[in-house]
Amino acid sequence: MTPEVMALLLFAVVCLVLLAGFPVAFSLAGTALLFAFIGDAAGVFDASFLEALPNRLYGIMTNVNLIAVPLFVFMGVMLERSRVAEQLLDTMAALFGSLRGGLGISVTLVGMLLAASTGIVGATVVTMGLLSLPTMLKRGYSPPLACGIVCASGTLGQIIPPSIILILLGEVLSSAYQQAQLEMGNWSPEVLSVGDLFAGALLPGLLLVGLYLLYLLLVAWLRPLSSPALPAAERGQFDGQLLARVVKVLLPPLLLILAVLGSILAGAATPTEAASVGAVGAMGLALAQRAFTLTILQEVMRATTRITSMVFLIFIGASLFSLVFRGYGGDEMVKTLLSDLPGGVFGAMLAVMALMFLLGFILDFIEITFVVVPIVAPILLAMGLDPVWLGVMIAINLQTSFLTPPFGFALFYLRGVAPAEVTTPQIYRGVAPFILIQLLALAALAQWPGLATWLPGVLNGG
């Protein structure tokens, strides 16, 4: 059996093992080791490739940028426990409740703020599903529309910085970008920072929120009964008291977002330094909400440890997988395949986007980021694509796959917390228009790359 066939089998077997429900990190590492031993025994794999693993693991564990991951996770989990989302939703509903579709607009805006505060998709969908879905259904919202709003707004954490996926993507793309430049003969390669990716994702993320809001206003106008205004007794009267409430509830999380994201974009702090500010700020917010106790702190620390351990274990397993895959010549095979596709760079990019979209049905964004991106990104970047634009395209693509039936992760999260009267087909129907909006945003970004590259260029003095 040739090395190329073994590389294809390795990828296929990993997907099957993951579909069977085995832990991701151990599936990646275990399958890769099994194929390495088989290939070594058959004489089609050089076991010396595995000697690079200790250096890779050392690089992972000493990477300063990756320290931002547990800090941002801590920040998100602490905010989730401090009732910030509940107070934001109540205040926004009072502010926009007099409008048809106002409650849906409120949920979308709160989802945007939570995305910029937490960056954790699963936590946001579950939180919004528990808080806002029963409220919208009780106020007469169409179940499909209510489900679509919750799922779509909950996945904004994929693209709106500071996002965990953007941190991980930034780290992987940085290595891929340097590798691509070295292969092109540039021995003084430029560096891609996580801050560049944050800046590149900001405008597309806000564009996506704007398209969501435009759709909700259109639905409220065309189908008024699907998203009615709140009853008069529950609407907030816009006066000094409501304005003071809005300022009191909105100002602290906005200041936290500004401190974290603003310091990164302004170059005043690295993502890791800004993440530490966010973690301390989240504790301050919880303290101000009287939701900071020793028990809550212990719960947050345990959740942070679990999530961070999962991320780094997957990173380690994916490193072993990529070593074995390259040892079989899989990267060269993929490079030849993409280079030979009709359409040149466009054809290669379209094929990679389609592959990631399909893999998003069965793999989490972490696995795709650590397994697929290191294989295809150096090839695409060597074709002359902008690394920031590529990173944002990947992030929006993965966000779209999170929403797409029947395997979208956001759908599973919502199904787990939705009331019994909400059916799975209703959830599927509800997310369909938002999937089209996502694809529209993806097409707009493909047509106008400046949406992603303009702000990083301005901030870098370009």
Residues 46-104: tens digit of each pLDDT = 888 788 888 878 877 887 777 888 888 888 788 777 777 777 777 877 777 778 888 88
Q: Which residues contact 280 (CB under 8 A, 6 or more apart)?
A: none
Burial of 149 (0-12, 13-18, 19+ CB in 10 A): buried
What residues contact 318, with CB distance under 8 A and at least 6 apart? 28, 367, 370, 371, 374
Residue 411 tokens read as 């759908």
Distance CA 358, CA 368 (A): 11
Q: Is the torsion defined by CA of 295, 300, 303, 305 positive or negative?
A: negative
Three-class DSSP labels, 106-148 = HHHHHHHHHHHHCCCHHHHHHHHHHHCHHHHHHCCCCHHHHHH
Is-contact 141 103, C-beta < 8 A? yes
- Rounded to whole angstroms, the maximal C-alpha distance in the chain is 78
Q: Closest Cα partner for 5 from 41, 48, 35, 49?
A: 35
Q: Which residue is listed with tokens 């530490």?
A: 276
Round to whole Å and give the CA distance between 202 and 232. 37
Report how far residue 302's alpha carbon sits from residue 81's, in angstroms, rounded to the nearest whole number: 13
CB 390 within 8 A of CB 173: yes
Taking each helix axis from N to C end, the angle separating 121-131 and 84-96, rounded to the nearest 10 degrees, works out to: 60
pLDDT of residue 248: 82
Strand residues in 160-262 grouped as ranges (E): none
| Predicted local distance difference test score (pLDDT) of residue 119 | 57
Task: Quote the Cα angle for 345-368-162, to 5°.
Answer: 95
Do the Cβ atoms of 456 and 215 come closer than 8 Å? no
Cα gap 34→317, rounded to integer Å: 13
Spatial separation of the C-alpha atoms in residues 4 and 1, rounded to whole Å? 8
Helices (H), 223-270: 240-257, 263-265
pLDDT at 389: 94
Average pLDDT of the residues of the chain? 83
452 CB-near residues (< 8 Å, 6+ apart): 200, 201, 203, 204, 386, 388, 389, 392, 393, 445
Identify the CA nearest to 438 among candidates 381, 349, 353.
353
The confidence score (pLDDT) of residue 236 equals: 56
Tokens found for residue 364: 């989490």
As averages over each run of 10 residues, the pLDDT of the chain (462 residues) reads 83 80 80 89 82 81 81 81 76 78 86 70 72 84 91 85 83 85 76 86 92 93 85 64 79 83 83 86 83 85 86 82 84 80 86 85 75 86 90 90 77 81 88 93 93 88 64
DSSP string, 39-58: HHHHTSS-GGGGGGHHHHHH
pLDDT for 226-248, tens place per residue?
888 877 666 556 667 777 877 88
Map tokens 């199904």 to a residue: 415
First to last CA, the chain: 51
Amino acid of residue 213: L
CA 338, CA 348: separation in Å to the nearest integer? 5
How buried is residue 43: exposed, middle or buried, by Cβ count under 10 Å (0-12/13-18/19+)? Answer: exposed
pLDDT of residue 118: 59
DSSP 157: G
Domain ranges of the chain: 67-320+329-459
